[in-house]
Amino acid sequence: MIPVARRMLFANRRRALLGVLGVAVALVMALALDAIFAGATRQVSRYIDSSPADVIVSEEGVRTIHMSMSVLALSVVETVADLPGVAWAEPILFTSDSVESTSGSRRLSYVFGYQPQGRGGPMKLMAGAAPRRGELVLDESAATALQVTLGDEVSTLGQSWRVSGLTTGMTSIVNTTTYVQYDDLAEVLGRQGTASYVLVGSEGDPDRVAEEIARVTGLTAQTRAQFSAEERAIVQEMSTDLMLIMSVAAFVVALAVIGLTLYASVLSRLRDIGVMKALGSSGARITRLVLVQAAWTTFIALVLAVALSYLIGAIIAALAPDIDLVVAAQSVVRIGVTAVVISLVGAIAPLFRVWRVDPASVFRRAS
Amino acid sequence: MSDIALAAEHVEKTFGEGETQVRAVRGVDLEVPSGEVVLIMGPSGSGKTTLLSMLGAMLRPTSGRVMAAGSDITALPESKLPRFRAGTFGFVFQDFNLLGALSARENVEFALNLAGVTGKPARRRAEELLDGFGLTDRLDFKPHKLSGGEKQRIALARALANRPPVILADEPTANLDSKIGHEIARLLRTTATEEKRAVVIVSHDNRLKEVADRILWLEDGAFRALEGMATDPVCGMSVDRLDTPHYQVDGITHYFCSTGCRDEFAANPAHGRPTAGAVPGES
């Protein structure tokens, strides 16, 4: 069978390329949006995801760090540590503020207070040492942005701190993470004798340990995976409307582009379609012709869009490490399904046009 | 009659309603047996194209019947007409109407695909036809790289691809020079004689009279007797002697399609073509 649809589509390579590029750009918009969102979501739960804790204990009903306030009595740490299946328990304090350099550069930051040599601090030190009293550890990306280095002074929570160490991977486009000693943060916040959360290491099944802690203390205890999922969910909930608007915008752009591309292709081939009908092409065959053209345009655009998304992700990662882009397989599948819907909807107007072509029009002289 | 490949019985076609109603074809009767070439001539707007569209199952008559290959086209449901056209008719057009995105071979193969012939058999048949028309070295050429004569031979190969009993040709020589026009006319004649196809040609081209078994004059949607026809000595068009501009020179009356042709002739009668139908002494 002669692949008439493909031949017709690519007979005018420039038009076909423009159409494919137009759809690809719209799909890249959608993919990039997903990738930025996935990256931002991953960044939000990075402290928990990189923590050695198997279970995190918080005030009853509090399930996240983000957009939450948890206050626990420090005595909870000992209670939890004595429970069966618990290997260790350590308190952390949490607040948020901005970190400002002496030059006036400023960055929003989560501030964690942890015990010296404890497990609530930075997962990896790239340079320098853990903070002593009056010192803090900054993320290296934030340090670069603030134009500070080891030994420099920065201010946060209303006082000056010396940068003792640099960690990595804890800065996003929104904020960074800073680590100070537990006692320093308790003093600044006036929260001596309290903890925000208790990090717990388990010797057995973390789910059972979490259940036991909750049963005995009446507090909320979640495994790391549960806590991380809650963190991501709250960000997703907060961003749903924005994401919906952006997704609809990308969808409409892709739809318009593919519709116009197909319509232009069909308009330029109306005589050919008339000839095909005159020679004996059925309505179904003509419908298939348009749908195959839509499918080809969308398929190539999708492949191009995925490749471009990975390429853009790699370039951004190299140029702006703070921006975490995650092109997830499920996102590609979702955009792929959307693209199929777009190609079908985009083919409607061209289909109505070709269905109306009169086969007898072939007897009219070509202009 | 069993060898009648195409027949029209009292075919009428009316467009519009009320004051804007136009009767494009009025009670046409026609029978074309296999092997015959029928040339339908007539002035522009006489209904030739409308009649051809109805004969080719592209337009339904307002009344009357069209029979092709033993089937009543007018009784066939719309959904069956495309397949019927693919197997029953071969079309040749003035503008060739080859699919620009396909090569010469693919254009012929496409017609075969429509009749259900695909793959190697379609390819072989297409090559065989194009070889027969001297296009062996043009198989993979796109239409825009071919001459008018080559395009029309491909169109003819496409028309013959499915061995249809009826070939319908609309001004098949109009865009061709004299030599190629004669060649296409000869091919149509050969097709009718050797392959026993009924060939219906709609044209203004007098050269085609040479290959036609019958010439019909269509005017105002109805066939008229040819005895009353003459040839315009300026443009070569066939014209009715009644109610047309005429001019007498050296005792011979000449007939014209328009006053423009008459005035041109009157300015220089020596430039006129040899004419048919000019009448000595008539005024």
DSSP-derived pairing of the beta strands B37-41 and B198-202: parallel
Whose tokens are 């990595």? That residue is A168
Q: If you average pLDDT over residues B30-57, what whole number do you get?
A: 93
Q: Which of A103-107, A163-167, A312-316, B216-220 has the lowest mean pLDDT?
A: A312-316
pLDDT band at A194 (very low <50, low <70, confident <90, very high): very high
Percent of chain A with pLDDT over 70: 99
Residue A77 has pLDDT above 80, yes or no: yes
**Interchain pair B115, A1: CB under 8 A:** no
CB A38 within 8 A of CB A233: no
pLDDT (mean) for B206-220: 89
B127 near A CB under 8 A = no
Q: Of A272, A363, A365, which to mutate for an interface test with B (greatest number of B Cβ within 10 Å)? A: A363
Confidence of residue B201 (pLDDT cuts 50, 70, 90): very high
pLDDT (mean) for B17-29 = 91
Q: How far is B82 from B87, CA to CA, in rounded Å?
A: 9
> A136: which strand partners?
A163, A180
**Between A263 and A148, where is the model more confident?**
A148
Q: Which one-letter amino acid corresponds to residue A117? A: Q
Residue A269 CB coordination number (10 Å): 23
Alpha-carbon torsion A106, A111, A115, A117, what sign?
Answer: negative
Phi, psi of A3 (to 5 degrees): -75, 70
Q: Measured at the alpha carbon of residue A140, what is the angle toward residues A137 and A144, in degrees to the nearest 5? A: 120
Among the ranges given (B23-32, B62-71, B107-116, B272-281), the one the predictor scored with the smallest mean pLDDT: B272-281
pLDDT at B273: 60
Of the two residues A298 and B237, the one the predictor is more confident about is A298
Nearest-angstrom CA–CA distance, A141 and A321: 7
Q: How far apart are the CA of B248 and the nearest CA of chain A, in angstroms?
A: 36
Residue B199 φ/ψ region, left for φ over 0, alpha for ψ in the -120 to 50 degree band, beta for the rest: beta
**Taking CB atoms and an 8 Å cutoff, what residues of chain A touch B91?**
278-279, 362
**Higher pLDDT among residues A63 and B232, named by residue:** A63
Q: Which two tokens stand for residue A12?
A: 């005018």
Mean pLDDT, residues A278-295: 92
State whether A280 and B83 contact (CB < 8 Å). Answer: yes
Least confident of A276-290, B2-16, B227-241: B227-241
Q: In residues, how long is chain A?
A: 367
Q: How far is A302 from chain B (nearest CA, A)?
A: 25
pLDDT for B276: 57
Average pLDDT, chain B: 89
- Is residue B114 within 8 angstroms of chain A, CB to CB? yes
* Largest distance between two CA atoms of chain B: 66
Instruction: Compare all CA atoms of chain B with the CA of A6 and give the residue at the minimum distance.
Output: B101
State how far the Cα of B154 lies from the Cα of B212, in Å rounded to an integer.
Answer: 22
d(CA A308, CA B14): 58
Q: What is the mean pLDDT of residues A7-18?
A: 86
Chain A (9-28) residues lying within 8 Å, Cβ to Cβ, of chain B:
10-11
Report the pLDDT averaged over residues B93-101: 91
The model's pLDDT over A249-271, given as tens digits with 9 standing for 90+, comes to 877 887 787 778 778 877 888 88
The per-residue pLDDT for range B117-147, each reduced to its tens digit, is: 999 999 999 999 999 989 999 999 999 999 9
Interface predicted TM-score of the whole assembly (ipTM), two decimals: 0.81
Is A1 in CB contact (< 8 Å) with chain B? yes
**pLDDT tens per residue, range A66-76:** 888 999 999 99
Whether B99 and chain A come into contact, CB under 8 Å, resolves to: yes
Q: Tell me the CA distances in angstroms from A219 to A113, A167, A207, A234, B97, one per residue in order.
A: 21, 32, 15, 20, 81
Q: What is the pLDDT of residue B277?
A: 58
Closest residue, chain B, to A277 (C-alpha): B82
pLDDT of res. B80:
93
Please list, residue by residue across B239-264, b when 16 or more beta carbons sit within 10 angstroms of its beta carbon and e when fewer do. bbbeebbbbeeeeebbbbbbeebbeb
User: What does the alpha-carbon distance between residue B162 and residue B164 come to, in Å, rounded to a whole number?
Assistant: 5
Q: In angstroms, rounded to a whole number, what is the distance separating the alpha carbons of residues A297 and A295?
A: 5
pLDDT score, position B283: 35
Convert the pLDDT of each residue in B167-191 to its tens digit.
999 999 887 888 888 888 998 999 9
Q: Best interface-test mutation with B: which of A275, A282, A367 has the largest number of B CBs within 10 A?
A: A275
User: Residues of B with CB below 8 A from A359's CB?
Assistant: 58, 85
Residues of chain A with Cβ-Cβ distance to B87 below 8 Å are 280
Distances (CA, A) of B247 to A352, B84, B229: 54, 49, 15
State the average pLDDT over residues A230-236: 86
Nearest CA-CA partner of A119 in A52, A186, A181: A52
pLDDT > 70 in chain B, percent: 94
- pLDDT beyond 70 at B253: yes
Of the candidate ranges A230-244, B108-122, B153-167, the one whose mean pLDDT is the lowest: A230-244
Can you tell me the mean pLDDT for B94-100? 91
Higher pLDDT, A142 or B242: A142
> What is the number of other CB atoms lying within 10 angstroms of the CB of residue B277?
19
pLDDT of A312 higher than 60: yes
Cβ separation A279–B85 shorter than 8 A: yes
A283 vs B contacts (CB less than 8 Å):
79, 82
Q: Which residue of A has its CA nearest to B99?
A: A272
H or E element, residue B135: none
Q: What are all long-range contacts of A189-195, with beta carbons under 8 Å and residues at least 24 apart?
A: A189/A93, A189/A95, A189/A157, A191/A71, A191/A93, A193/A73, A193/A74, A194/A71, A194/A72, A194/A73, A194/A74, A194/A93, A195/A72, A195/A73, A195/A74, A195/A76, A195/A77, A195/A91, A195/A92, A195/A93
A203-227, pLDDT tens digit by residue?
989 999 999 999 999 999 999 999 9
Q: Do A7 and B102 touch (CB under 8 A)?
A: yes
Pinpoint the alpha helices (H) of chain A: 4-11, 13-44, 46-49, 75-81, 140-146, 182-189, 206-217, 224-267, 270-279, 283-319, 329-346, 348-355
Q: List CB contacts of B66: < 8 A, sequence separation 6 or more.
A: B6, B7, B8, B9, B11, B54, B55, B57, B72, B73, B74
- Enumerate the β-bridge partners of residue B214: B38
Asked whether the beta carbons of residue A4 and residue B170 sit closer than 8 angstroms, the reply is no
| Predicted model pTM | 0.71
Contacts of B111 in chain A (CB under 8 A): 279-280
CB-based contact (8 Å) between B236 and chain A?
no
* Separation of alpha carbons A215 and B256, rounded Å: 111
B78-to-A171, A183, A280 alpha-carbon distances in Å: 67, 87, 12
Say if residues B14 and B28 touch (Cβ distance below 8 Å): no
Residue B280: predicted pLDDT: 58
Tell me which chain A residue has its CA closest to the CA of residue B93.
A363
